[in-house]
Chains A and B, each alone.
Chain A
């Protein structure tokens, strides 16, 4: 793990890393460990599935996750290349709003996709009936939800790495394809690995998409079994044993893919178009992405637009405000914990400490969200009055769930900061704190903005933690949407969903603006 110029002379990064680790233990390790310890002594009850079916579930869970993550990667990397290599109208819009699919509540995504591709959908009606249900639907849903991870990570990396070697190679006569595979791809590999592992694990714990777009119990993930164990049977001993399988798989993935050392130092320069993809490719990719992402979102907008006249705006405004508060809190919590963690994992010492921090921060992605929330419920079982109605516990849970995503984003960002800058600044007498605040953080502005957007998008569409921890009278927008649907008021629910969409879009837009202003102020 160790590379020259990485370790700081001052103990600051280590101290920051250790204190963030303490916070991490409090919000993640304690609830999960208390659940595990409590469950280990009890034997699990009889499972409501047969052994043969369980083996099938295991195979399907990880098989579909692999295919989904690879396909999302192809689409996401393609989109990132288009974004970084081309200048076209709507380019910035695409970039800023591209996390929208990732942020929307999954039920809305599923209904949106079915509104377009279902057998009575805008486009699906021209296809053979029922074609979508099964593998095509599951893959479509997962690519829709996961390609933004690749687009954002790879796009940010391409925007922050230096492109001189490619220019040199091209001017020396290398073919564009050769140049891409030998130079560019190698430099964005860490981001691709990160996005791959994250999207693989998200798809492996997919629940609603797999059931609803799969169409039947043939398509069942391990998460469905965990849901049964946690919520229906309330057999925590069984749930913990199932979750252990998930943890082992993601532990293996982490060791295989994410434990890589920092990259060598690079000088920075502005990125510029290198691969002049032909207009035909651009058009094809544009049409593909529009069909995949644009149309379902337009579908939701149209559907929502129909009921704008009949909405209760007083309730909606309150719910929107509540969502906003919760989102910002979750974001603040997530970044507040992740930034020192990532910094410690980058500059702390010794090397083993850095590796441990990295492993710890990735761990939440390997544990089912259901298990984390039920861990909190068990831990706080007698303290309901203490937290009901307060936003803080929901924000903490959401922030913890988003932690691996934000951590990976920041860690990759820190690695892109040219390693030579630190020793250079230090030799001129700058303190570690000065280097962090005046050199490293400003260089990470896009990455920080991305981390913010990611944490925010996690929180804005999330309902599980909200349902568990928030009181009855302070519902967030997604919770209100679900309540409306639960009471037959689907058209009102779509109207509220449009509002949520607009809110998310303007937040993402605003954060994009902030990032950009900063770029301009710097240059």
Chain B
């Protein structure tokens, strides 16, 4: 068992893609990661909400989540790029900007909370790569991804702002690739791989057509690379690639590249039930699941 970590679920995984939550719990259990729930968490809050109105309100809602983890003495592990960067940036601001910190503490008083700064915020890729370690992941793999060609989609808020997040090399990231190698898979470079999926900042909510135009550029780049599947490390990027390809198909295109959250892929290689950990998608992915786990016969 490792040091105490608290799982930060966010919104999209538990409420729209619970199979990603189920996969995450399965993976953390398999590697004996010592990740438990912190009760009562809310939205991080997304950059499509309060930060567009008032920085103090947005930071206070982040600080509330972090303060709840602090009372249990846990570092937070996030499974979404948005949750990760928003909580990590809020922590950074709270730890570096005394004026903001004092304003936020004043607001937190209304909820009888106080931010101390004693808990860290981690992206689950960092957690798996550094705290769990590649060798322990390798030891849990039952079905190798041998022969599989995969396109990694890092997503903006896994990488940027790199001076605050420090997750990975922002122009040549390697950690997700390391994990996929540990599963026996091969990652393929593609044009546009460090760029945006188009969903963030409220764009998908406000102007879905425009968000889709940005997505199509990414999907074209991936299609040219001739891969078996796309791997994201964020439920919102997952949503954009999975449902976005469906929307593009409805508009007459033939894009149909299976999409997985990294934890879904790891759980499948560990032998988890696909009906629990990879149940929900608009873009079919049974062929990939079968080639990982066999047809069960």
- A and B bound? no
Q: Spell out B's residues near A (CB within 8 Å).
A: none
Q: Spell out A's residues near B (CB within 8 Å).
A: none
